Structure 1
Amino acid sequence: MMQCIVIEDQPPAQRVLKKYINDIGSLELKATFADALSAVDYLKTEKIDLIFLDIHLPKISGLEFLKVIKHEPNVILTTAFSEYALESYDFGVVDYLLKPFSFERFVQAVNKVQRLESDFKQERTLAEKNPLSNVIFIKSGYEHIKIEVGDICYIRSDSDYTEIHTKDQRHLSQETLRYWQVYLDPQKFSRIHKSYILNITKIYKINANQVILKNNETLPIGRAFKEEFMKLVIKE
Structure 2
Amino acid sequence: MNCIIIEDQAPAQRILKRYIEDLGSLELLATFSDPIQAMSFLKSAAVDLIFLDIHLPKLSGIDFLKSISNPPKVILTTAFPDYALESYDLDVVDYLLKPFSFQRFVKAVSKLSMHGQVAKDKNPSNLKTSKSLFLKSGHEHIKIDIDQISHINSDADYTDVYYGDKKYISSESLKYWEDTLSEYGFIRVHKSHIVNLSMVVKIAKNQIYLQTKATVPIGRTFKKILDERYLS
Q: Does 1:176 align with 2:176?
A: no
Letter in 1 for 2:104: R
Match of 1:20 in 2: 19
Give the conservation status (yes or no) of the 8 Å contact 1:157–1:195: no
For residue 48 of structure 1, report the CA deviation from its aligned partner.
2.9
Listed as ranges, the matches of 1:26-175 within 5 Å are 26-116=25-115, 120=117, 136=134, 147-149=141-143, 154-156=148-150, 163=161, 165=163, 169-171=168-170, 173=177, 174-175=179-180
* Stretches of structure 2 lacking an aligned partner (at least 5 in a row): 122-126, 153-160, 185-195, 200-210, 214-232
Give the conservation status (yes or no) of the 8 Å contact 2:88–2:198: no
Deviates more, 1:102-111 or 1:73-82: 73-82
For residue 66 of structure 1, report the CA deviation from its aligned partner.
1.7
Determine the C-alpha separation between the residues in 1 that align with 2:101 and 2:85: 22
Match of 1:11 in 2: 10
Deviates more, 1:27-36 or 1:86-95: 86-95
Determine the C-alpha separation between the residues in 1 that align with 2:48 and 2:41: 13
Give the conservation status (yes or no) of the 8 Å contact 2:5–2:52: yes
For residue 105 of structure 1, report the CA deviation from its aligned partner.
1.1
What SS does the aligned partner of 2:114 have?
A: helix
What SS does the aligned partner of 2:87 have?
A: helix
Determine the C-alpha separation between the residues in 1 that align with 2:104 and 2:53: 16
Determine the C-alpha separation between the residues in 2 that align with 1:42 and 1:157: 39
For residue 17 of structure 1, report the CA deviation from its aligned partner.
0.7
Give the conservation status (yes or no) of the 8 Å contact 2:128–2:134: no
Alignment CA distance shift 1:91-1:79 (3 Å): same
Task: Give the structure with the larger helix fraction.
Answer: 1
Determine the C-alpha separation between the residues in 2 that align with 1:151 and 1:60: 32
TM-score (normalised: structure 1): 0.56
Alignment CA distance shift 1:85-1:122 (3 Å): closer
Q: Deviations over 1:154-185 (max 9, x none)?
A: 44577xxxx58495524454433767xxxxxx
Match of 1:190 in 2: none
Percentage of matched positions with identical amino acids: 50
Give the conservation status (yes or no) of the 8 Å contact 2:85–2:197: no
Alignment CA distance shift 1:153-1:39 (3 Å): closer
> Paired residues, what number?
175
TM-score (normalised: structure 2): 0.57
Determine the C-alpha separation between the residues in 2 that align with 1:108 and 1:90: 20
For residue 109 of structure 1, report the CA deviation from its aligned partner.
1.1
For residue 106 of structure 1, report the CA deviation from its aligned partner.
0.7
Give the conservation status (yes or no) of the 8 Å contact 1:56–1:62: yes
